[in-house]
Structure formats: structure tokens, C-alpha cells
Chains A and B, each alone.
Chain A
Amino acid sequence: MPVTKLLIANRGEIACRILRTCREIDIPTVAVYSDGDRGSMHVRLAILSVPIGSTPARESYLRVDKIIEACRSTGADAVHPGYGFLAEDPAAARQIQEAGLTWLGPSADVLERMDNKITARELARSVGCPVLPGIQETMDDEALLDEARKIGYPLMVKPVLGRDGKGMRRVKTAGELRRALPRVKGDAIFSFWDERVYLEKALIHPRHVEVQIAGDAHGNYVHFWEREGSVQRRFQQVCEEAPSPGVSPELRRTLCEQAVAIARAADYVGVGTVEFLLDAEGNHYFLEMTCRIQGGHAVTEWITGQDLVKWQIDIARGRPLPLTQDQIPLWGHAVQCRINAEDPTHDFAPSAGRIQYLRSPQGHNLRNDSGIYFGWELSPYYAPLLSKLSTWGQTRTEALQRMHSALMEYRLGGVRNNVAFFKALMEHKPFLKGELHTGMLDHPWWKQRGVGPSLKFAVAAALFDELELEERRAQQPSTPNACSGSPAAWKSVSRFNRL
């Protein structure tokens, strides 16, 4: 299949990241944007940019018809869905392929098989990979509660067609399950147009480990070792690393072999991830397969030296995999933090606003996949991801130290963000020891710290200066320009509020 001009059906940092690879290998790019994203970075980086509708994703980024129309009008012959939005949506993949366009991802048939978590579990079991005990038959709620008692609590309630951790709930008692069922079904209908749910035994403090794989149309498969994404909030990873500090060489071999076996059994063509849960005893269980490029792919790229988007393009073009398994190294250690506009001290509530100040960290063996710039207005309509900061080191310690130092340099103004939280994570003893589990952010062990005694003086001095400046600015005769852009001083604020 040809990939001569690529349309990126996504936005933000992942769209920018894909655009950069396309620039490298001279593939002309097409960005699409909603009304609210006119000024976004991906629009600025692309060669062609096409508007596809209003700001809510359902009227723009999720509209396959508009994406196809944009391909027609620009001559793009391939579509990269990125992650989120249309990625992993079998119906979207089918429509794109039926329109004669190349879909940068597995075929609609494979997506259908893996999107349904029950058939995916069956497939994993058929190649000898353990799955957690669960209930997957459709039955009424009362029968489900009876069956749940047999497996025992805690349990996970998940939508059958779920992905990205959406709609999932953990329940500890029958009462909680009874209450959770209608909610999970409601969320599932809202997100996936399907109300089927299934139950799965929940592990206590499991680790989340996933193996990156790639397969071509000629039956070749390779893996790129594993990543650990146990640091999660709301079932979404915020910090990933590779390789996992909790995986022994033996377990690594088993996980990677089984991941490849699952991909092979699924006739998977493309780049994907097989996810596992590990319990405290070192047992592993198949969780699900993610059929797209993942948010954490940068750490895998660090330790293998590969560009996974380039692999996706090669595979979509029908070429054989560029490397064999023994040509894929495992070098050192990498860690990634997802810098989000959210408030870690208030249950990670998202924040919106204008980026009033931006200084990105710089230095050796550091990567910052960013989709923002100074002055950009963050829209509340989309995920509040600002950038993905990753560092590489020869050892885990070195990678974490480098991350810690990079976070100290990262300055973001105008929106609440989790930079300070990640800095606290890089100082958190269990994290440093590699003792990770998916519940480690359930109870906030970090909190907003007061400012230290000597820093207090520096902060006060800066504040003093800033106030003086604001007042001077406010005293100047206001011009129409100065009114709209500059932050209001005390005086004008109180005037505005009082009169």
C-alpha cells in the first residue's frame, strides 16, 4: 500500500511527533484541525492543514467522513490515527480502507478481534498465556452477582469493547458491584456504543508491564522488550519506563515470547503492545492488546534506538520488517513523564488556560515530545497533555537522576501542572527502589510543599518586583492593546469588580 502523502488524524504532541518522522523521511504531511485548534502546533508543523469541524472531538477528530474528505482534497493516500480518537476503532479503519486509503495500523478485522476483550482473552489463552479468572458470559445482573461471589472480590468491571482505561471500575464488595454495573454500562454506551461488560479478578497491587511488538504482512514478528506503566491515575499511565525494574531476565523472555505468539495468532500487522499484569508472586496474566502506537513508545525507542513511527510506515507499505529480533538491542534504561495540565493536589483535576511562560529542559540524552508553545491557549475540550518528557541513562538510577534534574529545569506558567509532582515521584523511596504497583497513586503521599526558608526570600523579591511593575503598567494611560493583553493590576481589578 502506498504512503506518499500522510494525513495525521490527530492533534497535540502525538501529531507533532508523527509529523517529525515524516519530515525526516520526506513524506509530505497533512494535518487536520478543529476550530479550537487553528493555532495548535501540529497545524503549524504540517505542510498542508485542513479544517474538519468544530471544537468538540465528535464533530471533528472523530468524524471519519471529514477525514476521508480531507484526504481527497489534499491527495493524501494514507491516514495515521495516532492514539485515542480513531485509533483502534474497527469501523473507522474499515471506512478508511474501503475508501482506498492506507490505514497506519492493523486491519479492521484484527482490530475487531482485539477490541473485543473477551475474544482477545480467548486468543491469549489459546497460545498458552494465562489470563485472570473472570466472567465473560452475558447474563443478567443477579446471575452476575452470584458468579462474582464464586470468583471472589476485589473485581474489575470492564466494558467488553473498552480501551484506554475508559469506564473501568474496581469493586470490593457485592454492593459496590451492584452500584458499579449500571455506571460502567452507561460509560460503555457513551464511549463505545455497546453496553456489554465483563468481570475480571482484580489483583492486589499488581504491576502493569507491556511488550512492544511489530509484525509485517509477510509473517515476521519481533518484540522491542517491555515497558512498565504501573504509575497510573484513573487507570491511565502517567510515568513509564523501560525495561521494567520488576521483570527478571527469565520472565522477560517469557513475556516477550508470549507477546509475539499472541500477535502471530491474531495475524497482527503493524506496531502494537501486549499488556500484562504481574502479581506479587511473579505470575503474569494477559490483560489486553493495544493496537496502535502508544503514549509510552518513546522509552522503547530510547532503549532500542528505533523509530516506531518509521516502522509503522514501512509495515503499511508492505515491506518486510527492517530488522530481525537479534538486531534489536536493549541499551540502558529510559523513563518518561507525561506532563499534564492537571492539579495533583486536587485529585489530578484538569486545568485549562494560556501558556504564560515556557522553558523546556535541555541537555544530554533527554527528549521532550511537546505540542505546546509560549502563548498557546489550552482547550478544555481535549486531554490536558502538554508534553512527554523522557530521559535515557546507562542504568535506571542514571535515567531517574537525569529526569529529576530535567524536571527542576522545566518551567510552565499559566496552567497548573504536574511537574512538581513528578519531581516528588523521582524522590519517592519505593519508586527509586523500583517497587511499583498500579495503586501507588491512590493515596496522595505527595503534597504541595511550602517554600523553603531561603527560597521564600527569592519568591518574595520576585513578587515585589512583579507587583511594582503591574502597578506601573496600570498607571500608564491605557491603550486598547494594553487593556486586552496585560494581566490586570490590583487597581484595575478592584475597579472592575466594584463599579
Chain B
Amino acid sequence: MKRTLIINDETIELEIRRRRGSTVMTWNGEEIPLDICKVERSSYSVILDRHSVGVNVDRIRNADPDLHGFRATTFDGAYEFTLQDPRKKLLAEAMARSKRSEGNVIRALMPGRLLKLFVAPGETVEEGQPLLILEAMKMQNEYTAPTAARVAEVHVEEGVNLDIHAPMVTLRPLDGHEPQ
């Protein structure tokens, strides 16, 4: 399985494939053969180009629930970093985009099932107010209003399965934020 890891500010496409006794890690497209073996709870032995490295992975509590704190300890010391959930990042970026642009239609960023709908047509919502929860890739993603707005139209109902980019809610921004 391919994973996007956002370590501190660096975004890495990572994949580990195990085939016929050998393991290959793909790091942003570059193939790195390695051998990884879990030796104890949260403790790994990694052999990389014949270099044997022990890595301990340890969670640290983080004030922001969207950031996952980790500490990796190696012979060279402890290294702390935050890992951002790539889905959350995608969502945040899309929200920021829709805030900037005309986007008054809230669309599904990932295929999924509409779990909860909090708004009805005609209601006014404040900036940041939750609109709905879309379950996608086994994650519950909360969509919030990018600006203060009136709900013009609701295209979906609870329980339906949605394709990617499916329109869900149309908003009409208040306070003269009306798109030109």
C-alpha cells in the first residue's frame, strides 16, 4: 500500500513491497532495497545497504489532534517529528481553495458515504460550522463552511454513497461575499 507521509513539512510518497523474501521501499519514486524486521514492541531492526540500524518508534501526545507526534530513537539520538494525516491535509487545502475562489458548491474530495448531514436548505451557517460528515477510506471527514453563508441547496441525503467531486451542498456566502 502506498502512503503519503507528511513529516514536519516534507511530503513523501512511500511504499514498501515485499516480494519473494526481499523488501523494497519506494521513496518518492526512488527504489531502496532494505530489510525490516520487527524485533520487539515498537522496536525495529532495519538493514539498509548492509548497515544495521535499530529504530524505536514511539508516540508522543500532541495538542493538535490532526497532527500525530512521533519520536524515533536510533543510535544517533532521538528525533521528534509530527506526522500529518494526508487526508486531513487534502481537506484543509480544498477548504482553503474554496474559501479563496468562487467555490460555493461543497464537493466530495474522496469517494465515500455521507454519514451525517447537519444542515438544511435556508439555514444560515457560520464560518467553520460543520456541514456534514463524509466517511471515506474508513475515515470520518468533517466538512465545514468556508465562510458565513446561507445554505442554498442540499444535493445529498444521509447514507448515500458519493463519487469523488460529487456536489453535496451549495452555499450562498453572506456579507457581500456573493461571487461576481
Residues of A within 8 A of B66 (CB): 494
Cβ-based interface call for A78 (8 A): no
Known A-B contacts A413-B56, A464-B16, A494-B65; the reply to A454 vs B51 at CB < 8 A is yes
User: What does DSSP make chain B's interface, helix, strand, loop or mixed?
Assistant: strand
Pairwise interchain contact B46-A357, C-beta atoms closer than 8 A: no
Pairwise interchain contact A459-B65, C-beta atoms closer than 8 A: no
Residues of B within 8 A of A457 (CB): 25, 27, 32, 34, 46, 48
Q: Which of A25-33, A48-56, A93-101, A485-493 contacts B (4 or more CB under 8 A)?
A: A485-493
Cβ-based interface call for A455 (8 A): yes
Count of A-B contacts judged by CB separation below 8 Å = 134
Pairwise interchain contact A408-B75, C-beta atoms closer than 8 A: yes
Residues of B within 8 A of A463 (CB): 5, 57, 70, 72, 83
Which of B12, B51, B72, B85 has most A Cβ within 10 Å?
B72
Total interface residues on B, using CB and 8 Å? 52
Q: How far is the CA of A464 from the CA of B55 in the complex (A)?
A: 12
Cβ-based interface call for B20 (8 A): no
Q: How far is the CA of A497 from the CA of B56 in the complex (A)?
A: 27
Pairwise interchain contact B85-A490, C-beta atoms closer than 8 A: yes
Q: How far is the CB of A221 from chain B (nearest CB, A)?
A: 44
Pairwise interchain contact A420-B5, C-beta atoms closer than 8 A: no
Q: How far is the CB of B178 from chain A (nearest CB, A)?
A: 31
Q: How far is the CA of A493 from the CA of B139 in the complex (A)?
A: 10
Known A-B contacts A411-B54, A459-B55, A494-B140; the reply to A465 vs B78 at CB < 8 A is no
Total interface residues on A, using CB and 8 Å? 45
* Interface positions of B (Cβ within 8 A of A): 1, 3, 5, 7, 12, 14, 16, 25, 27, 32, 34, 36, 38, 40-44, 46, 48-49, 51, 53-60, 65-66, 68, 70-80, 83, 85, 88, 133, 138-140, 142
* 10 pairs from A and B in contact (CB 8 Å cutoff): A408-B76, A449-B77, A451-B72, A457-B34, A457-B46, A464-B16, A467-B3, A487-B59, A498-B133, A498-B140
5 cross-chain pairs, A with B, having the tightest CB-CB distances, nearest first: A420-B77, A462-B44, A462-B55, A458-B46, A413-B58
* Interface positions of A (Cβ within 8 A of B): 356-357, 359, 408-409, 411-414, 416-417, 419-420, 423-424, 448-452, 454-455, 457-469, 475, 487, 490-491, 493-495, 497-499
